[in-house]
Structure 1
């Protein structure tokens, strides 16, 4: 019975000690914890407000939606990490080692993802400086096609034969880009050859007439029909005609057909490479 009384007395003393300790820690850290919670809540509200303001600024500046969304998320994550570090330091947690760990982890990730970071930087540059936009027809990195999507890491092209080409933005931003859609007009360059025996003036007049009859070919800038080369098997005329960009391929293909049919009707031949082989008989002596 005495042992039970001693145990009860001991438990009461321990409970009292724990109670005193709890009161001591409550007095010591309660205020800090309360301030940390208030700071966390106010900080999250302020971050949400700032991110919304940033989004409005980006939209007013007509930044691409993909880049704007990424910058919003990046700003939100960065500010929240800084807020958590500040709150941790308020309650007495040492953040120096934590920051060092974050720095080391960031360096390791950066080294491991060098290619991806280069593509990310390229995507940001493309979205900021806009050398092309969705819907433009471009040629880059040995490929050509219509831009269907500009992502943070890659750009997606669709070719005329419905292939999908994905080009990393790092290579794209560091290489040459031909944008065929920046100008509303394009020049159609065509070469037609005639035989050396054909009437030179007649062939030139036919080409000039065909160009003048096509309503899609612009008069300003003026078109050109010039003799460009005396080739091995033909006399070559270069036809340079300016058209609205959407009419480029229609004019190019239809003009090939018109020229061939008209040359056939007018007796103008289109030669092809050929070789003359001469055989010489050698007399044998007895």
Structure 2
């Protein structure tokens, strides 16, 4: 029985297999070593940026963008080492990039929004913000997403495109924050007496700052009550506790002083008709009832 391959053809196949094997091993070694080097460069760049005057959020974002770019270059080098023609590879990547760009337009908008957040800096890592109805501390700003830590220790992840399209309330730029309560008292109650009771509570609380000075104003003459606006400033960390404490203490003080806090009410008048009233006379009343 004769071999179906000649010796020369067999040697060619062996050489081809050896060449492919060497390229494959070299590509794997390059990929493994390159990922280690890229990670080391990204860490070094992050540490170098942290030592500069660049804001920490921008430094972290730039380090991650640089790491992603280096990883793309590394993958292209690995593909070239495997023997794939770069011209054909770039053409395929261009066509694939167009298709992927159309399919992932929302993701690309998140990337653009992430760049805007880093450039414009409406908030930084560690700031307390309210975005899209969610309040929490900013943990990190990624290329695609921003993560908040809520007051109840829940993690909230928001797409960057949603953040730039919505209003952003940053509660951290100043060290103080205003507490504002709107309470109603009855029209028969003494406004000056209610103001004096509230001011005594405000001035006796050491957490309330003296500057700007707290005040009590008449906001509105509403349908059922006189609306009082109670305003004071506290440290950011004390805002929620002071707001709750003031609400309780003012309610108890008003109760002790006989000052009412009215609630909306409506008077209903019921009219009855004598059964002896003629039907013709009751018809207009029935029509008005309907």
Where on the TM-score scale, by shorter chain, does this alignment land: which range? 0.7 to 0.9
Which of 165, 178, 185 is matched with 2:156 structurally?
A: 165
- Looking at CA atoms only, which structure, 1 or 2, has the larger radius of gyration? 1
**Residue ranges of structure 1 left out of the alignment (5+ in a row):** 1-10, 20-36
Give the Å deviation of 1:77: 2.6
- Alpha-carbon distance between aligned partners in 1 of 2:227 and 2:203, rounded to the nearest angstrom: 20
Residue 71 (structure 2) pairs with residue 77 (structure 1): yes
Moved more, 244-253 or 131-140: 131-140
Question: What TM-score do you get using the length of structure 2 for normalisation?
Answer: 0.71
Matches within 5 A, 1:105-184: 105-184=96-175
- Alpha-carbon distance between aligned partners in 1 of 2:149 and 2:46, rounded to the nearest angstrom: 30
User: RMSD value over aligned CA atoms?
Assistant: 3.9
Matching residue of 1:244:
235
- The answer to whether the 8 Å contact 1:193/1:235 transfers is yes
Give the Å deviation of 1:187: 0.8
Q: Measured at CA, do residues 153 and 249 of structure 1 come closer, stay the same or move farther in structure 2, by a change above 3 Å? A: same
Q: Measured at CA, do residues 193 and 58 of structure 1 come closer, stay the same or move farther in structure 2, by a change above 3 Å? A: same
Question: What TM-score do you get using the length of structure 1 for normalisation?
Answer: 0.72
- Alpha-carbon distance between aligned partners in 1 of 2:151 and 2:85, rounded to the nearest angstrom: 60
- The answer to whether the 8 Å contact 1:218/1:241 transfers is yes
- The answer to whether the 8 Å contact 1:51/1:75 transfers is no
Give the Å deviation of 1:84: 6.4
Q: Measured at CA, do residues 158 and 62 of structure 1 come closer, stay the same or move farther in structure 2, by a change above 3 Å? A: closer
For residues 173-192 of structure 1, give each alpha carbon's deviation from its aligned partner in whole angstroms, at most 9, with x where no partner exists: 23220011122111111012
Give the Å deviation of 1:157: 2.5
**SS of structure 2 residue aligned to 1:219:** coil
Give the Å deviation of 1:87: 7.7
- Alpha-carbon distance between aligned partners in 1 of 2:255 and 2:43, rounded to the nearest angstrom: 69
For residues 66-90 of structure 1, give each alpha carbon's deviation from its aligned partner in whole angstroms, at most 9, with x where no partner exists: 42442232232344366568889xx
Give the Å deviation of 1:274: 1.8
